[in-house]
Amino acid sequence: MQDYLQKIKQANTKQELETIRIELLGRNGELNKLFSELKNHPDPKSYGQELNQIKTSVDEAMVEKLKTFTKNTTYKNILVETNFYTPIKLGHLHPISIVERQIYSVFKDLGFSQYDAPELETDEYNFERLNVPKDHPARDMQDTIYIKSPELLLRTQTSSIEARLLQNEKPPYKAMFPGRVYRNEKPTKTNHFVFHQFQGVAVDTEISLKDLFGTFTKLIRLLYGPDFQFRFRNKYYPEVEPGVGIDFKCFNCGGAGCAICKGAGWIEAGGAGIIHPDIMRQANLDPKVWRGFAFGCGLDRWVMTKYKITDIRTLLGGNLAYKPYQL
C-alpha cells in the first residue's frame, strides 16, 4: 500500500488521481479483492480492521491531494469530486404536513398551545359532550365507523379533543390540535373516509365573535395572501351558539361553479362559533363567567386550495409525484 500512497502524492492531475482510486478502491480494485478474501484469513477480525485502516489512510491521502487541484476544498465537495461520496436523494414533506406546520406557526405566534387526544374515541366525547345526544339528527350526517357499537368508535371530528380539553384543563387557555378523523363515506373528489381537520379552542372571561373573526382573518391572510377571497356566514352547529361557516372562493373555477365546489362557487372550509352554554356546563364551567370560541376546519381542503389540488383522494393515494413545496 505504500506504493499507492506514493503514487497519490506524485499524481499531477485529477484524472491521474481518479485512475489510482479505481485501481485501488474500485469494484474490482486491489483493496476490494483483499476484502473478498477476508473469510479465508486465519484471523479475519484483525485483518479486517487492518484493511479498514488502510482504506481510511488512502481516502485521507486522496482528499489531501485533491485540495491541491481545487479551490472548493470543503470535505463534502472533495468526496463528491473523487466519487467517494454519492449524495442521497432525500424526500420532501407531504403538502398536508407543510400546511399543518404553517398553521402551527401562526397559532403559536397567537399564543395557542398544542393539545391531543385519542383517535379511538367514546360516544361520550365524540357526541354527547358536544351537545349531540343519541337522537340528534347531526349524527345522521356523520356516517360513523364503530369499533364496538354503540360506545367505541373512530372519531368523526376533532371536536372530541375539544371536549377532553374542556373537561381536563382549567381556563383561561388557547389551544389548537390537528388530527385524522374517520367517516364511513365513499371517497369522491371532495370527500374521503379518512381525512384531516384542525380544531381550536379559546376560553376566557371575555371572548366574542370578533376574536374568532380576527383570528381566522389573520390565519387566512398569512396562509393565502391579502387578496384571497373568503367569507363568514351564519350556520347551525350543535356545539356552538351562534355558529359560523367559513367558506373559500373556489380555487378551481373562481366562483363560476364547478364539480369541486358543487356549483356553488364557494368551498366549505370549516365551522366555528361561540361554545354552547350546555357544553360549558358539562365541563363544570359556569357560562356566566367563562366564554369561548371553537372552530373545526377541513385541513385537506385548505391544502387543496393552497396547492390547487383538484382531487382529495390523491392526498392519501400514495402519489409520490408532489413537488417539493418550500416552507
The answer, yes or no, to whether the previous bond of 150 is cis (omega within 30 of 0) is: yes
Contacts of 180 (CB under 8 A, 6+ apart): 119, 194, 195, 196
* pTM of the predicted model as reported, rounded to 2 decimal places: 0.69
Q: What are the helix and strand counts (H, E) for the chain?
A: 11, 10
CB contact at 8 A, 201 and 297: no
pLDDT tens digits along 89-124: 566 788 899 999 999 999 999 999 988 889 999 999
pLDDT tens digits along 52-99: 888 888 888 877 787 777 655 554 555 555 555 455 556 678 889 999
**pLDDT surpasses 70 at 321:** no
CA end-to-end distance (rounded Å), the chain: 49
**Three-state DSSP state, 323:** coil
Give 135's DSSP letter: T
CATH of domain 95-316: 3.30.930.10
In the beta sheet, which residues pair with residue 153?
121, 146
Distance between alpha carbon 190 and the CA centroid of its chain, in Å? 20
Please state, in angstroms and rounded to a whole number, the distance separating the CA atoms of residues 212 and 239.
15
pLDDT tens digits along 216-264: 999 999 999 999 999 999 999 999 999 999 999 999 999 999 989 999 9
